[in-house]
Every structure is written in C-alpha cells, then in structure tokens.
Structure 1
Amino acid sequence: MKRSLLTEGGGVPIGLAIAGANRNDFKLVRETLESLPIPRPEPTDEAPQGMCLNKGYDYREVRALLAEYRFTPHTRCRGEEAEAIKQESG
C-alpha cells in the first residue's frame, strides 16, 4: 500500500491519499492536494506557500500541478541529493 501524506510546516498531517504499492509517488500529488479537509488560504506575493518535495517528484507534470495550485516548489532535482550528501561528507 502506498500512502501519500501532506503535512504543514510543523509536521502535522493535513492531507492523505492511498493507492496500490505499485503506483508512482508523483501520480498521487493531485489526489493528495485535493484531500485537504478545509479550504487552503489563498497564496499571495506577500504570503507565498511553499511545497517541499524530494527528487521522486521531479517531473514536469508535478511542476505544472504545483503552479496550478499556486505553490512555490522546493523540489530536489534527480541527482542533486546524492551530490549534496557527497559535498557534506567530503
């Protein structure tokens, strides 16, 4: 079973989507965002809303979806995490 969990900045769960284990994580993004139980505040230039994702979400489809929902993406690119770890330990 695959669980896609959305948390707020403090780590409190606010959204959840469940699918079969063989489903790619990035394909659950829309369903996870739509699972929010309360309306989300409208993001503004003064109060943008960020979305932090790991390299498993580095797809054009996800970037387009985040733009549609007006999130500011903070997504590691594939290969970037390994490079950061190498630099930290080097």
Structure 2
Amino acid sequence: MKGTKDHVVVEGGGLPLGLAISGAEVHDQQVALATLDSIRVPRPHGGRPRRRPRGLAADKGYDGQAVRQGLRQRRIRASIPERRYAHRRKRGRKPLSDVVLSGGRWVVERSHAWFASFRRLRVRDEKTSVMHQAFQTVAAMFMCLRRLLSPLPVTS
C-alpha cells in the first residue's frame, strides 16, 4: 500500500503538541509512543519543556499491551476503549477507562480537519517525508497563531 498516515497529539482545545508521520501500512500502535515522544511544551518561566501529558484519550486502534505498558512507564493516565476480541478469553483485571478523558476524542478529529484545510497537506506532492513533516509543522504554527489572534468570547 502506498501513502502516508499523519499522527497528531493535541491538547484539550485542539492545538497540536506533537506530530509524526508513518507509512500507510504501519499500524497506529507502532507509532503511538514515538508520537508521544515528540511532545515538547515550553514552560512559562523557563526550565525544561514539559514532555508528558497528564492524560491521554485514544481510540480502539491504540488498544494494545505495548502501548498501555509504555503509557504506564511514562505515568500517563490513559482512556483507551478495549477492542472486542470474540475469539479469546479475557484474563486479569480490566483496563480502566476514564470517562472525563474519553469524551474528548472528537477534538483530535477536528484537528485533522484543520490540517486538511491546508491544501499542501491534503494533496501530498512532496517526495520526502521530511518536507511533508515541515509543512505539517508550518500548518501547526498557523493553527496556533489563529488561536492567539482570534478574539476572546465575551462572558457576562
């Protein structure tokens, strides 16, 4: 299969924190931890950038022992729904699913739609993955600038 798949980690409002790309045939679980490792959020008063989110919501494609173990090692609270395996018996304790985290997966889909609004990312003309990732980064910067320059909602 030809093509690429874009992986993105977003914050609660939909702004991208980490980006990664992979081949279209690569399973999401194989790139999940590498995508998390791409997070670097600067702290407001200096110091080392924040590299670990407090919580993570993902879809069923990321339900795997290696991903869950990697998240546990990084001390990241995860909400990943279980896949339904009809052919095997479940043993051990059931993974916890955080209701507060699981309600926000639509934010990632909205962020993918924001990335798709950039023609250069929607129709890939670049031959190298480095150039595609560079355009992803530029699109992420534009998304952050839009958020910074948008007027704040009036509250009464």
Task: List per-residue Cα deviations over 1:32-83 (Å, max 9, x = no partner).
Answer: 011113322777xxxxx1110110011010101111111111001114xxxx
Q: Provide TM-score, normalisation by structure 1.
A: 0.74
- 1:72 equivalent in alignment to 2:82: no
- Give the total of aligned pairs: 74
- Structure 1 runs (4+) deviating above 6 angstroms are none
Provide the aligned C-alpha RMSD in A: 1.7
- 1:53 equivalent in alignment to 2:63: no
| Conserved 8 A contact 2:37-2:51 | no
Structure 2: segments with no counterpart, 5+ residues: 42-48, 85-156
- Kindly indicate which of the two structures has a greater share of residues assigned to helix: 2
Match of 1:25, as an amino acid? D
Shift of 1:8: 0.6
- Kindly indicate which of the two structures has a greater share of residues assigned to strand: 1
Q: Distance in 2 between matches of 1:26 and 1:63?
A: 10
Give the percent of matched residue pairs that are identical in Structure 1 and Structure 2: 39
1:18 pairs, out of 9, 17, 21, with 21
Structure 1: segments with no counterpart, 5+ residues: 44-48, 80-90
